[in-house]
Structure 1
């Protein structure tokens, strides 16, 4: 695999006796959309600030685009576009004027800046509001302008901290679609921090679940399920006729089956691995008609909540 474009090696950030980030190691590769997922206060923003060189880690090393963020923060800022959760624009200036001001701060020639600003305003669907003062923009419009703003300097990486905060559902859908499109069209690496699990699932190639400064697990959805739902990675739904106690007993004895639930006309079989063929054979051999069998795919919401529900039950024992 190629060299990571963002690499955190055993990063800690400690305040007195509290760890905001606790021995975090993380690799994000060029061209991917990575979701840093966790509740408010998990340490996501602190981790991002260390990547940007805005906060020095207590220990460990951060490299972004091959640059040490702690030692060369200015160089990192030239490579990275950052959209914080609390946006700030000059309200007495138009959307276009704000983008051109950003270009001026980054020493982008005027002709290049105007062309790029017009192009980006088109891409984020703000071309008709380009000459409108940003003080009149809605929250969703400001987020889209923020996306255009971080792209003005043509960064290799964009980091978005809670980008959908305070936006209505339709605005969220549009913004996520724009992020994915920009990633695909321009091959920009995107790190998206959020506590909204379903939003992360919609556009991210991989996600890391971050809680109390610690990365619990990372990967695509099937990989996260395997890492966090150790006992019940697979749930197989079985519709058969008839369903009786004898059939349930036989299925429960299959190696890899942890639990069998009966819900009206079907069974839910909780397994540590995929044993669909064995379940099918058991149903047929028992003399029942197999009407339907399917594996349930877990979404991030369910993986996240079932993991913590299981952990709380374990800790209370």
Structure 2
């Protein structure tokens, strides 16, 4: 008989993972549970699939508390937080159009930390649909932070991106490099969200955050049960390569021949997704250690 991860043990820290059905999110779920955490997942499934959660459950041998929910849905997100209160669920906030103030939650929310992956993430699409990206990514993050504040959940690990550095001709980056010369709406949403989270930490010393900027994740769980399986047209190289390998596409197009490399072709930095997932777990552990 399988058991729910969030109900497995009241003594294990409970982590909310937004966008947990995505490529990095699903691998992070496995690393979290195997690392001694309980998890609850929120995902709108706009660019992911419920199948990823089922496969994570297969790997773990237990069910995952999953909520199909858009983080821009303030009432829905608030009600979800209320379900994880001790000693009993709290009352959700009243609708925003009512004059009465929201009731102060009684008890304590079991969610200790949020790992925030949920976002639209295709660079090319963001250039064609900038308003959609700004509205989804930034509004969703603002809403999430507001709900977290109401429930006194003030630890967040944010999935940012190396795109915040812009097109800088550098062989490597570090945290002290300047940002701001971002060249696409997707990257700008990530940079804006970084600033919003930083401002929360400045305004309230109770807030703690870790912002992770990384390049292209690749690979799959060692079991082969989960990996990168995008909905629709792939935005990254490796799904293209895999689809060509199994005959779903005839070829891989390589663009550009004048890059400053030995043969003029492009070079990209990659990180294995399980290493990246483990890094998120270590970030959570760092936040909890510094409490």
When normalised by structure 1's length, the TM-score is: 0.29
Task: Write 1 or 2 for the structure with the bigger share of strand.
Answer: 1
Q: Mark the structure with the bigger radius of gyration.
A: 1
When normalised by structure 2's length, the TM-score is: 0.31
